[in-house]
A = this chain, B = another copy of it.
Amino acid sequence: MVSSKKSPTIYDVARLSGVSISTISRVLNMPDKVNPETHKRVMDAIDKLGYVPRADARARALQNTDRIGVLTPFFTAPSFVQRLRGVASALSKANYELVIYPVDSMDHLQGYLSSIPLMRNIDGLIIMSLALGDQDAQRLITNGMETVMIEYSHPQLNSILINDTHGGQLVAEHLIKKGHKTFAFLGDIEPPERFAIHPVKSRLTGFKQSLQEAGFSLSKTYIRSVPYTPAETRQAAHELMSLPKPPTAIFAASDTQALSIMKVARQLGVKVPDDLAIVGFDDIDVAEHVDLTTVRQHLDESGRLAAEILLSRIGESERPLQHINLPLKLVERVTT
């Protein structure tokens, strides 16, 4: 690789156009403050040299980076991807770059949290579905790192939440209306401690609660706590369907797990929705493809909102904190 020609700097342009570097800078940043003739001379030089200001130098002087970071576990899981899509769409409009910090262990997270605010790598931070210790939150705050959290909240940081309990209730109501009597729940109720957020638990709570209010019970046998891995999910689904009195409806706490359940049903020859109704949660893209009834939590929107809040606070840091609650909606398709 012939990296020969070093790209021209502001000094080269200054020399060629016979003015000082400050004038170049002015031409670029406050064009109206400079004599039209000089302006032209400078622009000519810039064109001739193919000069482009270096972002990093600019960033140092400006004390901003035009870059925002997203801290996320499994950024590759469909629901996270859809949130990222929302973030990206908001950012690209504003000409911000998107940096992704994939979190796959607690150490990782701690590492990021302790260095990010001080490194000054980014202008703002979005934290997705990750719990934050009080100390970490404080560090973000005292270092003036603008932050928006999704699926977790802290009194001094912006947050975007959904009401998981209500989501569970929606599902229960829907299934009851459909005439079901035997229900089951499947989801990762106690995720690895490192993430420490428990949306699934709340979904279960709401589900169970509405069921009980309507006079139905949801005994332990019909509640399966399973990690997100397809194999284990399928195993659990299989067990549920093999019960002496199998459920006629299963609520999966995530769409991906619902997919696994559908697969098992197919293998076992269990007819969906006739023999078994299945409801998911999230409404990821594929849910529509496979006609899965699910609870829509508007993932894209949550990401877009997070980014918008961030940008508005970066621009004008004294805006009040925002704690937003996004609505949920049950989308009925053909699995119920």
Known contacts A141-B1, A289-B230, A289-B260: A65-B56 contact under CB 8 Å: yes
What B residues does A59 contact at CB under 8 A? 56
The residue on B at minimum CB distance from A65 is B56
Partner of A92, one of B92, B104, B141, B290: B104
Partner of A81, one of B3, B81, B118, B289: B81
What B residues does A25 contact at CB under 8 A? none
- Range of interface residues on A (Cβ < 8 Å): 35 or more
Q: In the docked arrangement, what's the CA distance between A104 and B115, Å?
A: 32
Q: How many copies of this chain sit in the oligomeric assembly? A: 2
Known contacts A2-B142, A259-B289: A121-B97 contact under CB 8 Å: yes
Q: In the docked arrangement, what's the CA distance between A254 and B151, Å?
A: 33
What B residues does A275 contact at CB under 8 A? none
Question: Which residues between 301 and 328 of chain A lie within 8 Å of chain B, taking CB atoms?
Answer: 313, 317-318
Asked if A67 is at the interface of the complex by the 8 Å CB criterion, the answer is yes
Question: Which residues between 3 and 21 of chain A lie within 8 Å of chain B, taking CB atoms?
Answer: 3-5, 7
Partner of A288, one of B67, B230, B318: B230
Asked if A336 is at the interface of the complex by the 8 Å CB criterion, the answer is no
Q: In the docked arrangement, what's the CA distance between A88 and B59, Å?
A: 25
Asked if A99 is at the interface of the complex by the 8 Å CB criterion, the answer is yes
Known contacts A98-B99, A144-B3: A56-B120 contact under CB 8 Å: yes
Asked if A243 is at the interface of the complex by the 8 Å CB criterion, the answer is no
Residue among A75, A313, A317 facing the most chain B CB atoms (10 A cut-off): A75
Task: Give 18 A-B pairs besides A52-B119, A259-B290 with Cβ atoms closer than 8 angstroms.
Answer: A1-B313, A5-B142, A5-B143, A7-B118, A52-B114, A52-B118, A55-B115, A55-B120, A56-B65, A57-B60, A78-B78, A88-B100, A230-B289, A259-B289, A262-B289, A262-B290, A266-B291, A286-B286
